[in-house]
Amino acid sequence: MTRHFLTAAILIGLIVALVVATEIIGVRLYTRIALNLCIGLILVLGLQVFMGNSGILSFAHIGFMGIGAYTTAVLTIPARMKGMALPDLYPFLVDVQISPYLGILIGGLMAATVAAAVSYPLMRLSDAAAVITSFALLMVLHTVMTNWSALTNGPRTLFGLPKATDLPMAAGVAILAVIAALAFKESRTGLLLRASRDDEVAAGAMGAHIPHLRWRAFVLSALFAGIGGALWGHFITSFSPRAFYLKETFVILGMLVIGGANTVTGAVIGAFIVTAAFETLRAVEGALNRAQIFSEQVVGLTEVVLAMAMIAVLSLRPGGLFSTREIGTLLLRRARQREDKE
Amino acid sequence: MTAFIQFVIDVLSLGGAYALMALGLVIVYGILKLVNFAYGELIMVAGYTMYLVSGSGLPWLVMAMVAVMMSILAGIATDYIAFRPVRAKSVTAVLITSFAFSTLLQNAALLFISPRPRNVPLPEVFSNTVEFAGVITPARNLITIATAVVMLTLFAWLMQRTVLGIAMRAAATNFTMARMLGVPANLIISSAFAISGLMAGVVSMLWIGRIGAVVPGIGLEPLLIAFIATVIGGMRSLQGAVLGGFLLAFIDTGLNYTLPQDLLKFRDAFTFSLVILILLWRPQGLLKGPATGQRT
C-alpha cells in the first residue's frame, strides 16, 4: 500500500476537486452528474477489484447492484408507504423501517452474502466458460428481480425510498472504495490473484488456491456493487429492474475498459472520461430533440459513440489508457528518469 | 395421441430454429474459442433489411434472400471490426469489443430507424394453418422444420465434403497445425463468420415470422437461446450444438406444458441455472468435440 500513497493522493484529490468544484458552482444539474459519477466510481472500482486482479470478465456485477438497491428499499421505505409501494410484501417485513444509512450498509452486505453463496463453484471456471456463466448469473438475477413481486414490485417501478444520498457522502464512499481497491491490490490475496491472472498454471503450481482467491475478490467487489446500488437507490428514490441490466453493464464495463482494467487509476480515470463524454452527448441528444430537427426522437447516439470509443481504445491499446502501472508509479518513474539525465 | 403429435411438432419446430441459432454461434466459437456477443444483432440486421426493402414490391423470396445476404455481410463485418484488430492481443478484449459491437448495431437501429416495432412483410403461408394427422398447427411450424432439415443437411455436406468444410474442421481442432499445413487463417475465420451470418439470416426469417415485427432488441433472446443450447450440447462440437438446440426446445416446451402459471414466469431463471449447473458438472458440455488446440 505504501508504494501507492502518491496514486491514492492523486485519485482522492481528483474526487475532492470534483466535489469542491460542484459545490462552488452550485448548479443542480452538475450536482446530479457529480453524484452519478461518484456512484459510478464505486461500481467501477468494485468491478476492477474482481476483473483487474483476476483477469476474468464479469457481467454479473450490475445484478449485485440491484440486490443492494432492493434490499435497502425493502428495509427503509416508510411503513405507511409500503402498502402502496409493495402491496404483496411479506407481513413480517411490513413494519420494518430502519435508517437509510443502516439500509445502505445492509444492502452491501446482502449483495456480498448472495455473491459468497452462489459464486464459489463458478470461480473454478476461466475464459469463455466463466464469461458465459457470469452472463447467465446476470440473467438469473434479472429474472428473479423482475418476477419476485413480493419484494421488488415485479417489473413495475418501485418508489418511495427516502432520499438520503448527497454528494459529500457518495464522494466519501468513493474515496473509501479507492483506498480499499488499492489496499486489496497490494494485499497477499491481491498479489496472488494477480499472479494467477498472468499465469494460471504457474501460480497454481506455486500453491495459490485460485478459486478461493477469486472468490474473495468476487465477494469484495459484490460488496462494492451492493453499496453503490443502495446509494443510488437512495439518490434516485424510484427504479425498476430494468435499471440493472445490459445497458448499465455496458456503461460500467466501458468505463473500466477505456481506463484500463488492471489499474485502479484506470478505473477512476475511465469513470471520469466516460461520464464526461456521456453527459455531453446526452446534452447534444437533448438539444437535438428539443430543436426537433428530426421527425423522430434521437435515441441511442450516446451508446453508439461509447461503443465506437471502446472498440477504438481496445484496438489501439488493448489494456486501456492505464494498462499496467498506477499513475503514481508512472510519475515517480518519469521524475527519476529526468534526474538520471541531469 | 393428438396431444402427443402436437407436442412433437412443437418441439421439432422450436428445436429446429434453436439448433440453427446454436450452430451459427458455435461455428465461430469452435475455431476462435471466443464468444460472439454480436450474434443476436445479425438476426436484427436481417429483420431490418426486410423492413427496409418491404416497399420495393419484390417477391417475398427475393426480399428474404437480400436480407440473408445483408446478415452474411454483417457477420463478416463483425470479424473485421470487432475481432480481427484485437484477436491476437487478449481474450477479454475480444469479448468486450464484440459486446460493444452488439451495442453499436442495436443503438444504430434505435438512432436511424426507430425504437418502435416495425412491421416486416410475411408470405401468406406463414399465417395459414394446416391439419396434419388430426392436429391443427400453423404452417410456419412445418416450414421451420423443413427449413431446419434442409439447412442442417446442407451444413453437414459443407463440413464433410468440401475443402472449405474440412479446412474449417481442421482449424477448429488444431489451429496452429492447420495454418502450418497451408490453411489460410483469416479466410477460414471470415468464412466462419459468413456461415454464422447465413444461419442468423435464415433463423431471422423464421423467428420474425412468429412475431411479424422487428425491434432493436430482438437479437437478445436468440443469443441467449444459442448460448444455452451450445453450453448444454458442448461448446466445441457442432453435433452438440444441434443436440443442445433440440434438447432445450424439449425442456422449454415441456415446462410450458407442465409448469403452473405462477412458476412459469421464472422459467428463464430455471434454464439459466441449468446452464450454470451443466457448466460446473461437465464444463465441456454433453458432447465433447475435438481436443483443444492452441488459440491463435
In angstroms, the CA A160 to CA A103 distance is 14
Residue B291 pLDDT > 60, yes or no? Answer: no
State yes or no: pLDDT of B293 exceeds 70. no
Residue indicated by cell numbers 466510481: A41
Instruction: Tell me the shortest Cα–Cα distance from A321 to chain B, in angstroms.
Output: 13
Burial of A214 (0-12, 13-18, 19+ CB in 10 A): buried
A143 burial type by CB count under 10 A (0-12 exposed, 13-18 middle, 19+ buried): buried
Of the candidate ranges A191-205, A298-312, B65-79, the one whose mean pLDDT is the lowest: A298-312
Give pLDDT tens digits for A107-135: 999 999 999 998 888 888 777 778 888 88
First to last CA, chain A: 30
A274 found inside a domain: no
pLDDT for A235: 93
Q: Residue A184: pLDDT above 80? A: yes
CA-CA distance, B198 to B28, in Å (whole number)? 12
Does residue A103 belong to any structural domain of this protein? yes
pLDDT value of residue A319: 81
Give the pLDDT band (50/70/90) at residue B286.
confident
User: Nearest residue on chain B to A304, judged by CA atoms?
Assistant: B104
CA distances from A340 to A3, A286, A328, A336 (A): 21, 52, 18, 6
If one counts the domains in chain A, the total is 1
Which range of A125-139, A215-229, B94-108, B280-294 scores highest in mean pLDDT? It is A215-229
In a domain, A268, yes or no: no
pLDDT digits (tens, 9 = 90+) for A202-215: 998 988 899 999 99
Residue A267 inside a domain? The answer is no
Which of A34-43, A304-313, B106-115 is the most confident on average?
A: A34-43
What CA–CA distance (Å, rounded) separates A148 from A183?
37
In a domain, A224, yes or no: yes
Q: Is residue A62 part of a domain?
A: yes
Separation between Cα atoms, residue A126 and residue B153, nearest integer Å: 34
- Out of A24-33, A39-48, A110-119, B252-261, least confident range: B252-261
Q: Comparing A192 with A287, which gets the higher pLDDT?
A: A192
Taking only the tens place, the pLDDT of each residue in B174-183 is 888 888 998 8
Say what the ipTM of the complex is: 0.83
Three-state secondary structure string covering B130-196: EEECCEEEEHHHHHHHHHHHHHHHHHHHHHHHCHHHHHHHHHHHCHHHHHHCCCCHHHHHHHHHHHH
- The predicted model gives B212-230 an average pLDDT of 87
Predicted confidence at residue B294, as pLDDT, reads 40
pLDDT at B153 over 80: yes
Rounded to a whole number of angstroms, the distance from the CA of A190 to the nearest CA of chain B is 19
Judged by CB atoms closer than 8 Å, whether chains meet at A250 and B100 is answered as yes
Residue with cell 435508517: A99
Residue A294, in any domain of the structure = no
Q: Answer whether residue A252 is part of any domain.
A: no
Contact by Cβ (8 Å): A186, A276: no
Give the helix/strand (H/E) hosting B23: helix B2-32
Enter the pTM of the model.
0.87
Is the pLDDT at A166 greater than 70, yes or no? yes
pLDDT classification of B263: cutoffs 50, 70, 90:
confident
| C-alpha cell belonging to residue A235 | 439518490
On whether the CB atoms of residues B256 and B244 are closer than 8 A, the answer is no
Give the three-class secondary structure for B202.
helix
Residue B39 touches chain A, beta carbons under 8 Å: no
* Chain B nearest CA to A51, separation (Å): 10
* Chain segment A135-154, per-residue pLDDT in tens: 888 988 998 899 888 888 88
Cβ count near A206 (within 10 Å): 11
Whole domain around residue A226: which residue ranges? 2-245
| B224 residue type, one letter | L
Q: What is the rounded (10 degree) CA torsion for A185, A186, A188, A190?
A: 10
Strand, helix or coil at B115? coil
pLDDT of residue A232: 95
Report pLDDT digits (tens) over B79-98.
999 888 888 777 778 888 88
Q: Do A57 and B95 touch (CB under 8 A)?
A: yes
